[in-house]
Amino acid sequence: MAEAHQAVAFQFTVTPEGIDLQLSHQALTEIYLSGLRSWKKKLIRLKNGVITGVYPASPSSWLFVVIAILATMYMRSDPSMGLIAKIQEHLPVRYQSLSAQCQTVVSAVLFSTLLWFSLIFTMRMCLKQLLSYHRWMFEQRGKMSNTTKVWVALVRIFSGRQPLLYSYQGSLPNQPVPAVKDTVKRYLESVRPLTTPDEFERMASLATQFESSLGNRLQWYLKLKALWASNYVSDWWEEYIYLRGRSPIMVNSNYYGMDFLYVTPTPIQAARAGNTLHAFLMYRRKLNREELKPWLLMSSVPCCSYQFERMFDSCRIPGTITDTVQHWQDSDYVAVYHRGRYFRLRMYSSSRPLSPREIESQLQRILDDPSPPSPGEEKLGALTAGDRIPWAKARKEYFSLGVNKRSLDCIEKAAFFVTLDDDKQGMMGEDPAASLDRYAKSLLHGKCYDRWFDKSFSVVIYKNGKIGLNAEHSWADAPVVAHLWEYVLATDSFQLGYNEEGHCKGEVDASLPRPQRLSWDITPECQEQISQSLAVAQALADDVDFHVFSFRDFGKGMIKKCRISPDAYIQLALQLAYYRDRGMFCLTYEASMTRLFREGRTETVRSCSNESCAFIKALEGGEGVEVCRRLLRQASEKHQNLYKHAMTGAGIDRHLFCLYVVSKYLGVDSPFLKEVLSEPWHLSTSQTPVQQVELFDMVNHPEYVSCGGGFGPVADDGYGVSYTIMGENMMNFHISCKHSCSQTSSHKYGGQIRQALRDMLQLLCPDQREPSRTDQSQTKKDL
């Protein structure tokens, strides 16, 4: 018990002679070192806060300004134009006793400091204005205008040197609010290919009525919020899209990331966990010290980093009306689940992080622990997988006092959650494709009770050494988690490594205390609620149809040779495959980032356009090769233009969403907004880019490639597609839908995607080789 461990440090007994105090020097040393580590972190945060606060200047530049002003005054010149004398006249009384020369120096230092802050403010405002320029994104690749060249040079001048992770936050521009007429115009253009003439006419009438009446009123409130808030979208998006959802977050919201596809660095479960958990600690150390490099576009345009703040030590807390995300500071332990038991594993000893070998040893103790779970403990995690309201009520009724509260706090305040899974997963066995599908489903939902879906992320370590990650969505988007996951995979294999027996390297401190088993007192009534939540979650998990495959016929290298954007190419292939699968077009969602703005998250790219539909109709209608090729390029250019507009704050859906929220606050109804926000996304897609290419050697070690990650279906009768472009010759796809819909099949749609990718390349480059027999047979099998 936690209380017992704490009591060892301080004990006393009452005797006839008085009170006999007994102090444990070892425990007091641990307390002292823990406090020392905490103060070191506070000092590092203070130092980084100062550096970030004065960026793009540096703290040392203050001394330069002071010396320059004093040197100028020494040469009998007044650079302040009389301001230093004015400051000297108004010095506090306690400075009047100083000599006139000392008073002048103090006044000069004060003037220099004010000048320094003014210069910082000016540089920051200049940089913010420069970063508001986005015309560079719409210029043809390889043909940069003179204006953009000057702009790039100015950005580099005003950006300073060696920025920390959060250095650019104060210089990022606010996300602009588009004009209502522009958003309405783009919306009508996006739905034209998806509606009949009569339906489009009706929608256009509603849009015109909204634009000329209610729209302007709602827009005024939205502009007021944009002036006041850091971002006019992100807080409402987090609250109303994620935290206010009352359905299960498992499958519906959480997403996952996979291990290396072809390589398992060690088959020993505890050893793989040791390196993996230590790599997480290394990343957290870099994050706390802000040593991670800000993500830059074109090597000079910064992206917002605020989503990194809640990566560790965070948990989603259920509520009856809305959930909340709580973040704590510097948890020194992780919560571990194994065979129905929960453990608290300390990750630090004597103010230092445990070595990989020590973590392996501690986790092996958990694996070897034969104790059974207490009543209700094994499936406790199902509460986080079911509906949110029952979980909120159960948390308040059964986990607000006593031992249950202490144990729940231990899980929620942990740095992150770890599951030691008894299953074996990965691409293996006689049917590697089917095993990859099972691997994806395991990471997405597991057994519905062996993950803590509320934690910011949960790490899964399988029995055969495979690993994976399940992440909660409200606190951050997939690219942020992918950045963490790339670092962990690369550090595990290329930096930490294993010995010849497959164990972690290093020695073990034999005096480390054993992992602490968490205690629970789960009543029969609470167990009944756990069973109900598990039933809801199990039905949801069983309905998920998943298919994962790697496309290796060609990759972005070949697509770029055809002078087409790889993302646009894949999006057109997904729409072509959907048309062949369902015989119709659908509203298509592609996630785009808006991190060019402060606290920006995502925007929707409506990929199904007039141009994409024209290309698909021409191809399927038997038009000539030249016609189809021309329409394909036009559709690709249109998609790139839509994506760039979304990235630069000129999207459609976030603006309409915020207008809808304002209308609800004002208590007014808009038939136009109500219909727009009720339209289902039958095809929801997302690309997860590889951000740290330098960590992987795709030439010498092509086998060390991750399969990416995926998410569950968004619509009951639609598809969810996540894809990752790996290197020059590989593309990975994760396709999800529901068994309960007779019109969808992940394997069939996967086969259509393969065929669409090949047909489009054949159209662009007729001389390309035929796919291998293995690839052809897999496509026929899926179809």
Residues labelled as active-site residues:
473
Measuring CA to CA, which residue among 717, 740, 722 is closest to residue 587?
A: 717
**Are 608 and 579 spatial neighbours (Cβ–Cβ below 8 Å)?**
no
Q: Write down the residue that tokens 């219909």 correspond to.
A: 675
Cis peptide upstream of residue 176 (ω within 30 degrees of 0): no
The pair of structure tokens assigned to 47 is: 């130092």
Measuring CA to CA, which residue among 257, 246, 249 is closest to residue 280?
A: 257
Count of C-beta atoms within a 10 Å radius of residue 324: 12
Q: Which residues pair with 314 in a beta bridge?
A: 327
Degrees to nearest 5, angle at CA 692 with 42 and 123: 60
Give, for 16, the enclosing helix (H) or strand (E): none
3-state secondary structure 21-50: EEECHHHHHHHHHHHHHHHHHHHHHHHHHH
- Give strand ranges (E) for 189-273: 255-258
How many residues does this entry show for the chain? 783
Q: Which residues of 464-474 are buried (b: 16+ CB within 10 A; e: fewer)?
A: bbbbbbbbbbb
Q: Which residues pair with 687 in a beta bridge?
A: 723
Q: Where are the alpha helices (DSSP H) in 600-652?
A: 610-620, 625-647
**Are 312 and 287 spatial neighbours (Cβ–Cβ below 8 Å)?**
yes
**Are 405 and 519 spatial neighbours (Cβ–Cβ below 8 Å)?**
no
**Are 152 and 300 spatial neighbours (Cβ–Cβ below 8 Å)?**
yes
DSSP code of residue 170: G
Q: Write down the residue that tokens 């509520």 correspond to.
A: 319
Helix (H, G, I), strand (E, B) or coil at 315: strand
Percent helix / strand / coil, the chain, rounded to 5: 50, 15, 35
Helix (H, G, I), strand (E, B) or coil at 603: strand
| Termini Cα distance of the chain | 57
Q: Which residues of 579-596 are buried (b: 16+ CB within 10 A; e: fewer)?
A: bbbbeebbbbbbbbbbbb
The pair of structure tokens assigned to 778 is: 């897999």
Measuring CA to CA, which residue among 14, 32, 12 is closest to residue 22?
A: 12
**Are 322 and 331 spatial neighbours (Cβ–Cβ below 8 Å)?**
no
- Give strand ranges (E) for 148-303: 255-258, 296-297, 301-302
